[in-house]
Structure 1
Amino acid sequence: MNLNPALTRYRIVAWIVGVLLIVLTVGTVLKYTTDDDTIVAIVGPAHGFLYMIYLVLAADLARRARWKLPFTVLVLLAGTVPFLSFVAERVVTRRVRDAFPLVASGAP
């Protein structure tokens, strides 16, 4: 089974969601310290939309890689904690490449 496309999609969205969550966190701090909610107003909806895509792509990868439910739930929640999506992305990539050696080599 070729998991390369599913893993690549997941990795890209995990990074985007992670970066947006950090920006959103900074925006939230600014909102409550300076009464400027511009960042939250712009990045909040974008993060919410992309988090939904993250959930779909992570669930798809979980199904293809046959992860157990507890691990899948942790990966799905990783997009809600700043910096955790980066950690989850590394753990997921390592786990998929260890379980499916053809993914690591990039073979079809």
Structure 2
Amino acid sequence: MKKYLYLVAIAIVSCGAILSSCSDDKISGDSIFSTEAVHRNAFDQWLYKNYTMPYNIEFQYRLKTEETEQAYNFVPADSAKTVKLAFLTKYMWFDAY
């Protein structure tokens, strides 16, 4: 008898939960993703054309502070050296094949 009462109580609670969970929520038009246009300089465009489009590789050369260890002092790479490294990497690894 107790088993039957427990099953009925669980069924009533389940039906109540199912019926109360179906409500009409209004969807806001705001997106959680940024819709701003990405500003690219000439080097960014070259990277997109020579790394991202053919090989699907993201060449990260800008220092992202959220991905670094805060206990250490980091200095971003010189942009001229970054350009040289990108050309060298493409020449040695990708153009060889």
TM-score (norm 2): 0.24
Bigger Rg, structure 1 or 2: 2
Q: Which has the higher helix share?
A: 1
Higher relative contact order (CA 8 A, sep 6+): 1
